[in-house]
A and B are shown apart, each in its own frame.
Chain A
């Protein structure tokens, strides 16, 4: 079955860039997502990318996809304390099942002053 892996922790200073990494195992056609989870809250969709794209930018967020290595990254520019949260990478096949998401274990981002 599908597998999605992430590193568990990342600590950065306020104002620096954060890069959160993810690897996945599913084959060709898939959607890849980044979700944010703040303490005691549900998951919030941040951005997504289709596997035939290399990059997507949305304000402070940049998603890079290396399809050959099945490696996905989320870069947060000018990281703020409000960005402290757990970030989940998720993938979903394009066909069948709609939004059948497989989530990674999450990366806890801590932003220090």
Chain B
């Protein structure tokens, strides 16, 4: 089965610019997650979708971050405007349902964002 696809792999922008990341989950996976992984830290959940609805966005900085999952398949994560502290790897993951030990998360390879 094809894995979780993310693009671009790398992105360098200046602060105050906008950026968008794209994720295509594994076919049939209902749940999609965006994680932020700052260098030297573990991933932190930003937002969780169940189909095209938001389950948890409590840690998403909503003044500058937005995400959508139209039609319950692909998802985009946007940052506008970017700050230096947004430099991180943005990981997308998917699971068949809301995620249990029997349906663990499958992660993409991430998009590495550098804000200068």
Show the binding face of A for B, using Cβ within 8 Å: 4, 31, 33, 40-45, 48, 50, 88, 90, 97-101, 103-106
Contact = CB atoms under 8 A, between A and B. Distances in A.
A88 B42 contact: yes
B97 A98 contact: yes
Nearest to A89: B42
Contacts of B104: 33, 45, 48, 99
B42 A98 contact: no
A101 B105 contact: yes
Interface in B75-111: 91, 93, 95, 97-101, 104-105, 107-110
Given A45-B104, A97-B56, 18 more contacts: A33-B104, A41-B109, A42-B93, A42-B107, A42-B108, A43-B107, A90-B42, A97-B48, A97-B55, A98-B31, A98-B48, A98-B55, A98-B98, A99-B33, A100-B56, A101-B45, A103-B44, A105-B40
B67 interface: no
Given A103-B44, A105-B41, A48 B101 contact: yes
Contact of B109 (A40, A98, A106): A40
23 contacts: A4-B42, A41-B109, A42-B107, A42-B109, A43-B43, A43-B105, A45-B105, A88-B42, A88-B43, A97-B48, A97-B98, A98-B31, A98-B48, A98-B55, A98-B98, A99-B31, A99-B33, A99-B100, A99-B104, A100-B56, A101-B45, A103-B44, A106-B42
Interface residues of B, number: 26
A16 B15 CA distance: 46
A100 B42 contact: no
Contacts of B93: 42-43
A104 B40 CA distance: 10
A104 B42 contact: yes
Contacts of A42: 4, 91, 93, 107-110
Given A103-B43, A105-B40, A43 B101 contact: no
Nearest to B97: A98
Q: Sorted from nearest, which 3 A-B pairs have the closest CB atoms?
A: A99-B99, A103-B42, A42-B107
B56 A99 contact: no
